[in-house]
Amino acid sequence: MDSTNSYIKQLYTSRNTILSYLKNIGYDCSDYENFCFEEINIMKDTDNLSFIVENSLGEKCYVKYEIDVTFKHNVLKKNSIVTLKTKIFDGDEPILTKKDTLFIVTTNYSEDSVHAMIKNSWESEGIFIVLFNLAHLQINILNHSYVPKHVKLTDEEADEFYKKYNVNETQIPEISRFDPVARALCLRPKQICKITRYDKISYKNDYYRICVS
């Protein structure tokens, strides 16, 4: 397989993985399913890989591809994120509001500096960004045999959880927002996920984690 076809295959697989993640957390992805390699190639050539989906609550997720075909350059830098945020959230015709999610797919970036920028965007501006390297979307981590089932609780389910167990946020074990599964769930800080594990003795066990920035 030549480098061009390999790259298209990565884009194809990443799109399938992303759609699976977003469907899993309630987004309507029906307009973007059932695509083929040739369509991905056309999307690549016309810069139309990015797309927006919406859930039943009217919350949007904008999947934005910021990629470098050579895989050699850090295409996502601090100034890139600032430019993206301005265009998407604060432009003359904003694409997203602060209740929505910006899901960025890129090839190379400086993890520490970009994660710090993403963290600051949330803590100071209320802008939620999920970031994935293209290479990490070549498998669906939620379907991996070693990864137990994770479910993001709704606000109502979280309220019931607090009442049932009589705990506060500081008493719940944590999961980082940059954890691969947390990113696959688009888990925001202070949201809770339920983890279901099975063993031979008690069979089913539920654990809970609260997302931290």
Nearest 10 degrees: Cα torsion 169, 165, 203, 196: -30
* Least confident segment among 6-20, 135-149, 162-176, 194-208: 194-208
pLDDT at 3: 65
Which structure tokens are listed for 25? Answer: 């957390």
Per-residue pLDDT tens for 99-140? 999 999 988 777 788 888 899 999 999 999 999 999 999 999
Of 72 and 64, the one with more pLDDT = 64
Extended beta strands in the chain, E state: 27-28, 51-55, 60-66, 101-106, 128-133, 149-152, 174-176, 192-199, 203-212
Residues 74 and 108: beta-carbon distance below 8 Å: yes
Mean pLDDT within 29-53 = 90
Query: Which H or E run includes 43?
Result: helix 37-45
What pLDDT is attached to residue 200?
73
Where is pLDDT greater, at 109 or 64?
64
Q: CB under 8 Å to 104, separation ≥6 — which residues?
A: 64, 66, 76, 84, 129, 130, 131, 132
What integer pLDDT is reported at residue 82 of this predicted model?
A: 82
**What is the predicted pLDDT for the residue at 197?**
87
Q: Is the pLDDT of residue 1 over 60?
A: no
Mind listing the pLDDT tens digit for each residue in 146-172?
889 999 999 999 999 999 999 999 999
Between CA 200 and CA 65 the distance in angstroms is 43
Please tell me the predicted confidence (pLDDT) of residue 74: 53
Query: φ, ψ for residue 78 (rounded to 5)?
Result: -55, -45
- Cα–Cα distances in Å, from 9 out to 2, 15, 169? 11, 10, 42
Q: At what angle do helices 78-89 and 111-125 cross, to 10 degrees?
A: 30
**What pLDDT is recorded for position 78?**
58
Contact present, 135 and 173 (Cβ < 8 Å)? no
Per-residue buried b or exposed e for 33-67, using 16+ beta carbons within 10 Å of the residue's own CB: eeeeeeebbebbeeeebebbbeeeeebbbbbbbbb
**What pTM was computed for the model?**
0.88
Average pLDDT of 10-19?
95
Instruction: With cut-offs at 50, 70 and 90, classify the pLDDT of residue 189.
Output: very high
What is the arrangement of strands in the sheet containing 149-152, beginning at the earlier edge strand?
149-152, 192-199, 203-212, 174-176
Name the more confident of 12 and 203: 12
Domains of the chain: 3-139 (3.40.1340.10), 143-212 (3.90.940.20)
pLDDT, residue 107, reads 84
